[in-house]
Amino acid sequence: MVAPVLERLATRYAGRLKVVKVNVDDNQATARAYDASSIPTLVLIRDGKPVGRVVGAQPEPALVAQVEPHLPAVRV
C-alpha cells in the first residue's frame, strides 16, 4: 500500500513536502495533464513544474531517494 508510506513521508517532511491525492476517476483532466495513466503515479512538482515521476508502488526507501533531492533545504 502506498498511502501509509505517503502519510509517513508527509509527516517526516512537514513544511517541506505537500502530499496531495487525486482521484483520477473524478478528475480525469488532471490525470491527463500529468500523464497519470497507471495507478499509482506520483508526480513530484517543484515551483509549479514536474521534476520527477514515480510509477507503481515502491518501498519507502525508494520513494525517499526519489523525493529528497527535490525538497527545499531545511531552514535553521
As for how many domains the chain has, the answer is 1
pLDDT digits (tens, 9 = 90+) for 10-29: 999 999 999 999 999 999 99
Contact present, 14 and 26 (Cβ < 8 Å): no
Whole-number Å distance between alpha carbons of 35 and 48: 16
Q: What is the DSSP string of the chain?
A: --HHHHHHHHHHTTTT-------TTT-HHHHHHTT--SSSEEEEEETTEEEEEEES---HHHHHHHHGGGSPPPP-
pLDDT digits (tens, 9 = 90+) for 40-63: 999 999 999 999 999 999 999 999
CATH number for the domain harbouring residue 58: 3.40.30.10
Residue 50 structural domain: 3-70
16 located within any domain: yes
**pTM for the whole thing?**
0.84
32 located within any domain: yes
CA 49 distance to own-chain centroid: 13
